[in-house]
Amino acid sequence: MTCDKYAATICPRPACWTHWRSKQPPLPKSGKLRLYSNRFCPYSQRIILVLDAKKIPYEVVNINLSNKPDWIYDKNPYGKIPTLELDNGDCLYESSIIADYLDEKYHQHPLHAKDPLQKAKDKILIEQFNRIITTMYRVMMNVGRISLDDDEAISEGLTTFERELGRRGTPFYAGNKPGMLDFMIWPWCERADILKLFGNQHLLKREKYKKLMEWRRRMTEEPTVKRSMLDSDYHIKYLQSYRAGMPDYDLILNSN
Catalytic residue selected from 3, 11, 16, 41: 41
3-state secondary structure 4-29: CCCCCCCCCCCCCCCCCCCCCCCCCC
pLDDT attached to residue 256: 56
Burial of 144 (0-12, 13-18, 19+ CB in 10 A): exposed
Q: What is the mean pLDDT of residues 143-148?
A: 58
Classify domain 116-221 by CATH architecture: Up-down Bundle (1.20)
Render pLDDT for 62-101 as a digit per residue (tens, 0 to 9): 999 988 999 999 999 999 999 999 999 999 999 999 999 9
The CATH number for 1-111+237-256, chosen from 3.30.70.20, 3.40.50.2300, 3.40.30.10, 2.70.98.90, is: 3.40.30.10
Count of Cβ atoms closer than 10 Å to residue 218 Cβ: 14
- On whether the CB atoms of residues 235 and 186 are closer than 8 A, the answer is no
* pLDDT bucket at 9, cuts 50 / 70 / 90: very low
Render pLDDT for 219-235 as a digit per residue (tens, 0 to 9): 999 999 999 999 988 98
CA dist., res. 169 & res. 78, Å (int)? 41
Does the reported pTM lie above 0.85? yes
* pLDDT bucket at 203, cuts 50 / 70 / 90: low
CA-wise closest residue to 79 among 90, 64, 89: 64
pLDDT attached to residue 173: 98
Examine domains 1-111+237-256 and 116-221 and report if their fold is the same. no
Give the torsion sign (CA, 216, 217, 222, 223).
positive
Please confirm, yes or no, whether 91 is among the known catalytic residues.
no
Name the residue ranges covered by the structural domains of the chain.
Answer: 1-111+237-256, 116-221
